[in-house]
């Protein structure tokens, strides 16, 4: 059975006090998660230990970092290693988010190293992939995403892949005024699953959790999550509003 996950990515938002209040507001909603359902809170680095403490008594709730270093250790001022994250109890780490790719020029090769570091530290990577507007307009999105998967994930073993979650980000539909339809999301998720099946086998593909990272909101979450290959969402702005995030979680099904 595939896991159903809603992950909230805070990005560079909220003070510690605001973040603590947000988590408490989410917990006070009294969510009852079904078997195989998870809620992941991806906070900035300074808040990880606080988030872990707040969530420790709530089954199905986990903490994610938003990034990790591509190296295990060394003279990399300002970087945070996967081993460091593991030492404070981090469960997941987001790798290859579209903003990291764009603003920090993270290549597929660098992201492959980050995936390796996370897995070696016992942390589950949430690996992001997706195409910008020019690629979508050229109708070459499948080839583009396939290359991202091949160059960052295809070196893994089937056993390693079991700890990987994939998040599809239609970059062209984030903050542009354009909207990705539920059908477009399903098409790409099905394509991603087919690529995994071709490389790792049908069984591995069937058990792979694929999240949608394209501006999911309470108003469209149910339609998105109803698709057979959409296993939840990587939520940005809506995860900063407790009522919205709770409503999206409730649509997990």
Q: Choosing from 99, 169, 189, 251, which is the catalytic residue?
A: 169
Q: How many CB atoms lie within 10 A of CB 230?
A: 23
Contacts for 223 with CB less than 8 Å, ≥ 6 apart? 182
Q: Is 83 an annotated catalytic residue? A: no
Separation of alpha carbons 208 and 189, rounded Å: 11
Contact at 8 Å (CB) between 235 and 216?
Answer: yes
* 11, 26, 150, 233 from 239: Cα distances, Å: 10, 10, 30, 11
Q: In whole angstroms, how large is the CA radius of gyration of the chain? A: 17
CA 244 to chain CA centroid, nearest Å: 18
Alpha helices (H) in 8-139, listed in sequence order: 16-27, 48-55, 82-87, 98-103, 108-120, 133-137
Structure tokens at 33: 């998660």
Q: Is 159 an annotated catalytic residue? A: no
* 71, 81, 105 from 75: Cα distances, Å: 10, 11, 20
Q: Choosing from 38, 97, 106, 189, which is the catalytic residue?
A: 97
Could you give the residue numbers annotated as active site? 97, 169
């Amino acid at each position: 059975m595939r896991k159903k996950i809603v992950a909230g990515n805070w990005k560079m938002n909220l003070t510690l006090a605001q973040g603590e209040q947000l988590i408490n507001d989410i917990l006070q909603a009294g969510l009852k998660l079904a078997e195989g359902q998870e809620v992941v809170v991806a906070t900035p680095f300074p808040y990880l230990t606080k988030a872990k403490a707040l969530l420790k008594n709530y089954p199905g709730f986990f903490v994610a970092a938003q990034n990790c270093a591509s190296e295990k250790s060394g003279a990399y001022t300002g970087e945070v290693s996967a081993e460091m994250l593991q030492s404070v109890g981090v469960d997941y780490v987001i790798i290859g988010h579209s903003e990291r790719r764009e603003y920090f020029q993270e290549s597929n090769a660098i992201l492959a190293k980050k995936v390796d570091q996370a897995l070696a530290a016992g942390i589950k990577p949430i690996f992001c992939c997706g195409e910008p507007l020019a690629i979508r307009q050229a109708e070459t999105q499948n080839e583009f995403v396939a290359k991202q998967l091949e160059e960052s994930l295809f070196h893994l073993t089937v056993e390693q892949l079991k700890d990987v979650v994939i998040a599809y980000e239609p970059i062209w539909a984030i903050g542009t005024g354009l909207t990705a339809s539920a059908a477009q999301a399903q098409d790409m998720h099905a394509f991603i699953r087919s690529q995994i099946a071709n490389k790792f086998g049908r069984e591995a593909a069937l058990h792979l959790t694929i999240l949608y990272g394209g501006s999911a909101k309470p108003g469209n979450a149910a339609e998105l999550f109803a698709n057979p290959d959409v296993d939840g969402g990587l939520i940005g702005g809506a995860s900063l509003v407790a009522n919205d995030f709770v409503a999206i979680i409730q649509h997990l099904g």
